[in-house]
Amino acid sequence: MPSEALRATARTHAAQILSGEVTPAEGARSMWTDVFYHLELGDHCVDQFVYWADAIDDADTEDRRRFCESAIIRVAREFLTRNS
């Protein structure tokens, strides 16, 4: 999939996170599987989603999980601001 198509997919996932259509964890995991694995080597546009998707999976307390969810929402907002 061409890079612009991947960025469009990433924008869709980020918007779904912000709208509440998907949970932050679901959206970050979708970003990981649908976008990250298909980007050209050296394209780091969704790295933060991958980091937080992994972190939320490892969260051992509800506070840590909420912290990760907030981070994913912040990253989604920043991503859409940079890639609109």
Q: What does the pLDDT look like over 26-70, one tens digit per residue?
A: 999 999 999 999 999 889 999 999 999 999 999 999 999 999 999
Q: Is the pLDDT of residue 72 over 60?
A: yes
pLDDT given at position 3: 85
- Answer with the residue of higher pLDDT: 43 or 18: 18
Return all residues near 45 (Cβ < 8 A) that are at least 6 apart: 7, 10, 39, 79, 83
Q: Where are the domains of the chain?
A: 3-82
Which pLDDT score, from 0 to 100, does residue 2 have? Answer: 64
Please give the model's pTM, rounded to 2 decimal places.
0.92
